[in-house]
Structures are given as C-alpha cells and as structure tokens.
Structure 1
Amino acid sequence: MAHESMPLFPLHQVLLPGAAMDLRVFERRYLDLVRDCGRSGGGFGICLILEGNEAGAPATPAAYGTEARIEDFDTGNDGLLTLRVRGHRRFHAIRTRVRDNGLVMADVEWLRADGEDVLRPEHALLGTLLQTMMEKTGTDLNGLPARIFEQAGWVGWRLAQILPITPEQRVSILQEDDVHARLQRLLEWID
C-alpha cells in the first residue's frame, strides 16, 4: 500500500474533522510549511505532542492526527502570521522523520471517512445535548441542515470538540473508525 508524505505541525491540542483552529506561526520550519501548502494547495497534519514542546526542538507526535487545510490567514498585531485552519481527513502516521530544518514529516495512511449513519436510539440524547450546548453558547444554528443533529459522525466530532475531555481522550476518539463506538465512549465519559 502506498503512503502519502505529509508535513506535521505537532501541538498540545487535537484538531478534529470539521473543527476550526487558530494558529500563530513564527518558526522558520512552519513558515516554510505554510508557503509550501500555499503553492501546492495541500494541507498538513496536526498531531498531539507526546514528548517535547511546540517550539524549539522537534517534538514527538502521536501516530494519529487530522489533516489541516488553511481557510484564512493574516498578520497579528505582533507581526506574526496567524492562520485559521479546519480539520479534514483523519490519518495514521506509519513512520516519521525530521528534515534538516526541524520539520517533522510523516508517511500517512488515510483512515476511513464517516458514512451517513444516523444516531442509534441509545445515542439520541447526545444529539439533543449537543444542540442545547450550542444554543447556550450562542452558536447560530440557522445555517445548519435540519437533520444535522441526527448524523452520528457529525454529532460525535462536535461533542468531542466541545466537551471538557483531555487531549489524550480526543486522540482516542480520533483513532476510532466506528462512529457508534465513538458516541458510546463519549456517552460513558459524560456519565
């Protein structure tokens, strides 16, 4: 099976499919990464840091992550590049290597995309919970499709994004291919 090579941006947080994240970019290796993504139209991987720091020496990333695509960019008041990225496909990093400039590269295999599964009766409460949480935080729900809170994959990713769970728990959700198993795990953590 052929693997795709992709640059990684290890962080102390987890990007989930469909979620947005803001990044400040100042290290040369990541400025180069952004330039290369702009030229190729491609994305880069965001993985949780297992060992190390976000800046300085290359960190050891988790083996599972999410492809980030740049939606917007600007320069902050401090002159640093700021990015708005959104999570797309999940991946498993088969092997990693570090370039001379400190950028971590990974050979990745793409994980299965979610299907159109609807919430099972035992998880229906999670759709209601998510809708209530989003309403209470002032999220505008008018632009969302009418039945979005019945889609198992979407509900799972959004709950994993907003629930107060650890980054390690988010990675474990990221690794799970079965949308119903993801929802069951979230339900157990809520209890």
Structure 2
Amino acid sequence: MDLLPMFPLGAALLPGSPLLLQVFEPRYLAMMRDVVGGDRQFGVVLIERGVEVGGGDQRFSIGTVATIDQLRPMPGGRMGLLARGGDRFEVVQWLPDDPYPRAEVRLVPALEWSSEQASRLTETEHVVRRALAVMSEYHEHLWPSDVELSDDPVSRSWQLAGIAPLGALDHQTLLRSATVDELLESTARLTTEALDLLPMQFPDDPA
C-alpha cells in the first residue's frame, strides 16, 4: 500500500487527463509545498457528498494519482496548478487530516489492450468526436472535436473518456472500468445518452 496526500474535488480525474486548479485553502497550499518537494504526486478523488472547501465531505473510493507538471504563485497567495492523471487507486483507509487529507491506497492494475478491441476504439472515437462537434454549439469549455490524442491505444481510450462531454458521476463510472472493452462501451453509451438529452435541455423556441 502507498500513502498519498489527497485532494478531493468536484470532478473526477481520469488517467491521461489534465488537471488545472487554483489552490487557495491553507491546508492544500501546505500540501502543494510538501508534494512539490517530493515526488510531485497526490491523489484525486471525486466528492460524493458535500463541497470542496472546508472539509466534512464524503468521497468515492476509486481515484487517480496526479503528477504535478507546473506549479506557480498567483496573486492573493494562491497557487496555479497543472497536473496530469496517471495510475488509478482504491482508497484502503482514510487517515486524519495533517493538516490536509491523506489516505492509504492500493494501486489498481492498468487496463490491458487486445487488437480485437481496435474496432470498438474506432467506433467510440467517432461517437465522442461527433458529440463534441454537436455540443460545442450549446456548451462552452468543451474539448475541440479534432483534438489530437495518443497513439497508444489504452492511453487513447482513457483520453476519449476524459474528453467525452459528460458529468462528474459519469466520469467516475468510467474510472471504475475493469477492462478496455468496458471503458470504451461505457464511454460510447454515456456519450450517446448525453447527446440524446440535448433536445430536452435546449428545446426549440416555440416562437
């Protein structure tokens, strides 16, 4: 088991996905100073109930190891953070805050690729890129539909899950995938469902 400093958030971080944050709580500023002086890694878990600020939240048990790429000071004592998701983990035990959350974790085995999954990867990529193109007319801050992805098929599968225009709970569902097939099938299905909901979210103006 590994001991990780933990950063519970209102979003799920997937392997290969970037994480951009402004850190301002004193306990997390202390965590960043400790982390950057060590292996530059911390854990990210999605908050199940509660809010990011102040503690007292309930958290999902499956998360992702984040590695800091950049950390810079900002006005008002804040820190700007750019990190990237890596290995997945399962929380074995939460430890008392000191002063920030910490947990003993067990790494989750990496997904394994088979050439038989190539067609599903192609189909899922088509679904995700089409959804990004359509939803960009209704939502801001989405990934461009022509964003470049990794040539490695497992990394590409995770990146497709990460850029899919889905909510935090859907991304958490994808994070729990046990196989590449499950990841790709769930990504395509959830993305299609999100696309099908667009007419209800943005009905035509009756006028």
TM-score, normalization by structure 1: 0.82
1:126-141 matched pairs, under 5 angstroms: 126-129=124-127, 137=144, 141=148
Check whether the contact 1:46–1:67 (CA below 8 A) recurs between aligned residues.
Answer: yes
Check whether the contact 2:9–2:45 (CA below 8 A) recurs between aligned residues.
Answer: yes
Check whether the contact 1:68–1:85 (CA below 8 A) recurs between aligned residues.
Answer: yes
1:108 matched residue in structure 2: 105
- TM-superposed deviation, 1:173: 1.1
Check whether the contact 1:130–1:159 (CA below 8 A) recurs between aligned residues.
Answer: yes
- Which stretch has the larger CA shift, 72-81 or 174-183? 72-81
Check whether the contact 2:12–2:63 (CA below 8 A) recurs between aligned residues.
Answer: yes
Q: Distance in 1 between matches of 2:147 and 2:157?
A: 19
2:171 matched residue in structure 1: 170
- Among 8, 11, 29, which residue is 2:9 paired with? 11
Percent identity between matched residues is 26
Give 3-state SS (helix, strand or coil) of 1:121's partner: helix
- Which stretch has the larger CA shift, 115-124 or 43-52? 115-124
Q: CA 1:120–1:88 in 2, change beyond 3 Å: closer, same or farther?
A: same
| RMSD value, Cα | 2.4
1:65-113 C-alpha deviation (Å, 9 max, x unpaired)? 1011110011234441111010011000012123253x22111000011
Q: Distance in 2 between matches of 1:128 and 1:80?
A: 39
Q: Distance in 2 between matches of 1:18 and 1:26?
A: 25
Aligned length: 181
Check whether the contact 1:16–1:174 (CA below 8 A) recurs between aligned residues.
Answer: yes
- TM-superposed deviation, 1:35: 1.4
Q: Distance in 1 between matches of 2:114 and 2:35?
A: 33
Q: CA 1:122–1:73 in 2, change beyond 3 Å: closer, same or farther?
A: closer
Check whether the contact 1:111–1:177 (CA below 8 A) recurs between aligned residues.
Answer: no
Q: Distance in 1 between matches of 2:59 and 2:13?
A: 13
State whether structure 2 residue 28 is matched by structure 1 residue 27.
Answer: no
TM-score, normalization by structure 2: 0.77
Q: Distance in 1 between matches of 2:5 and 2:81?
A: 16
- TM-superposed deviation, 1:140: 6.1
1:89 matched residue in structure 2: 87
2:61 matched residue in structure 1: 63
2:49 matched residue in structure 1: 51
Please, which runs of 5 or more residues in structure 2 have no aligned partner? 134-142, 193-207
Give 3-state SS (helix, strand or coil) of 1:9's partner: strand
